[in-house]
Amino acid sequence: MTPHAADLILLKPAVRDQVHAVGKIDMNNDLDSFLDNLQEQIFDEAKDVLGEEGFQRWLNPRYRGAIENSDAHARIKGTCGDTMEIFLKFEDNQVKDASYLTDGCASSNVCGSFAAESAIGKSPDELPDITGKSIMEKLGNLTEEEEHCAFLAAETLKEALNKYMIKCMKKNK
């Protein structure tokens, strides 16, 4: 997978730490202004790709991480090679908690986060209403190139629901 420019910003503090640590070059105004310009460019590009809502979510990726003792967990590898995971915890026939994990790009993180958020409070009957399209609508914008990230998140959520339903059926036998 080609790293997306939107992901490169994460390197900035790491680059600075490295520069300080190895002491090979002095941190100076030129480097600071170079990094600030780079950050601005990456933020602008991320806003173009993800939309304002998606951009804010990328800065603060909520619902990321595994749920211990989840009732359902699904992992799907997309055609792009990235993996999406969804965890669901149910209580009183409703999703009490949901989360995602991905090794993919900024868009897959944002889509996983919105998929998990959309699932919370839903009953098993309502979960299929969460689709790639509804996730994209939550973001407000997603370039055509990145749309498959939303569909991967929705597909993984659907698979987690399937696993939960199978588990319930086995329990009720």
Work out how close the CB of 78 gets to ligand FES at its nearest, in angstroms, rounded to a whole number.
Answer: 5
Q: Which stretch binds ligand FES (CB under 6 A): 76-84, 90-98, 125-133, 155-163?
A: 76-84
**Nearer to ligand FES among residue 94 and residue 134 (C-beta):** 134
Within 104-123, the residues that bind ligand FES by CB under 6 A are 104-105, 107-108
Min CB(115)–ligand FES separation in Å? 12
Contact pattern for ligand FES over residues 134 through 173, marking x by CB under 6 A: ---------------x--x---------------------
SS (H, E, C) the chain: CCCCHHHHCCHHHHHHHHHHHHCCCCCCHHHHHHHHHHHHHHHHHHHHHHHHHHHHHHHCCCCECCCCCCCEEEEEECCCCCEEEEEEEEECCEEEEEEEEECCCHHHHHHHHHHHHHHCCCCCCCHHHCCHHHHHHHHCCCCHHHHHHHHHHHHHHHHHHHHHHHHHHHHCC
